[in-house]
Structure 1
């Protein structure tokens, strides 16, 4: 191994380590903001209602249904030099494109109307989040969207199952009424593992790292916003 090869490897490792630290800071800020979201505060306190849960599912569905389309759009904008990222995006879009159906089944299982759910519109935060995702996905080689995946998949892996368990504790819900959240702990844990492999693979340079962190910051804020703006 030449000195230049060692130097390149060290530089890549330094970028990866710095990126991990910066994303961890974004995550901490998101956690702090989520703790102040009214519906999640009531969930933690044990004062959440079935109506709260119904509203949460209703509002999440309007954004979740856009998940696979923006990932597919991003995949189409990666060139051959970013083949690994294009492949990962295509695989991820395929895995995500039925997720909203699980959410719909949970909604109906708690007594909600499927017709009303499907006729619903995005709230202010969801409009902003989906708009940002599609806009970013239209860029050439939208590597920064790895930051969006860090936030969205991280929430599924680290928070969704806990939310589901707490809703069950407080409201006495059955597994078939919280399946969407339960499912994402396992599925998104796999996704975050794949994401971490990309982020530490050495293919992310300093410029891409900056884009990833900035995208993570924006998506973290907009995701929290959609939870703050239920029904608005």
Structure 2
């Protein structure tokens, strides 16, 4: 086994362990537990969109900051980050449309503030993105894009099943199944390309651990 293959194989195994821990924590998030057992309410969904919107607004800006801090030796990562920022900078508008479609108003949504978990998550992302060559953020993408690709569509379908919602009321969640699946495919290509060394792998796993915990905290805080 070559060093590159060994590094990427070990990295994927370590990230898989982080994902298992995230799944276990998500199972204990109150709003997701209610979604699973069928007792979720329209107000729960409204609060989910309300809280997600405040954090999603920051997504493209921190990705752009990360792109600006990759040097020429990390040109491929800089290019990938620029593309990603461009693809995601309108995502919050989908949440706004869904929110209005279930009876909310743009005024209350745009006047909202991040919950404690969202504040911690955005603060960490901007801080890390400001570091020179923030390769560890690939771990953050593993978590965030993974949630979109693996869980968002299932959540959308369950909200529709329990609450009788139309497609135009869960567009944000449904959209991210396909969009984030493409992103995770691109991420896997980067992680197996030989760009990532052993030191980078440690940073990627650590960043994934932190983001997994903070993302779950963001969802936990919806009930507080």
**Bigger radius of gyration, 1 or 2?**
1
Paired residue for 1:171, among 144, 163, 173?
Answer: 163
CA RMSD of aligned residues (A): 0.8
**TM-score where L is the length of structure 1:** 0.96
* TM-superposed deviation, 1:230: 1.2
Paired residue for 1:56, among 40, 43, 48?
Answer: 48
Paired residue for 2:201, among 179, 184, 209?
Answer: 209
Distance in 2 of aligned mates of 1:39 and 1:132: 24
Deviation digits for residues 27-80 of structure 1 (CA, Å, limit 9, x no counterpart): 000001000000000000000000000000000000000000000000000000
* TM-superposed deviation, 1:113: 1.1
Kindly report structure 1 stretches of 4+ aligned residues shifted beyond 6 Å.
none
SS in 2 for 1:229: helix
SS in 2 for 1:203: coil
Q: Show the counterpart of 1:121.
A: 113
Q: Show the counterpart of 1:100.
A: 92
1:148 aligns with 2:140: yes
Distance in 1 of aligned mates of 2:96 and 2:86: 18
Deviation digits for residues 197-232 of structure 1 (CA, Å, limit 9, x no counterpart): 000111100000000000000000000000000165
Structure 1 portions without partners, runs of 5+ = 1-8
Distance in 2 of aligned mates of 1:63 and 1:221: 15
Distance in 1 of aligned mates of 2:6 and 2:106: 50
Pairs within 5 Å for 1:29-108: 29-108=21-100
**TM-score where L is the length of structure 2:** 0.99
CA contact (8 A) 1:59 1:231 kept: no
CA contact (8 A) 1:62 1:126 kept: yes
CA contact (8 A) 2:68 2:78 kept: yes
Distance in 1 of aligned mates of 2:222 and 2:177: 23
Pairs within 5 Å for 1:181-196: 181-196=173-188
Distance in 2 of aligned mates of 1:104 and 1:31: 27
Distance in 2 of aligned mates of 1:103 and 1:120: 13
Distance in 1 of aligned mates of 2:201 and 2:73: 17
Q: How many matched pairs?
A: 224
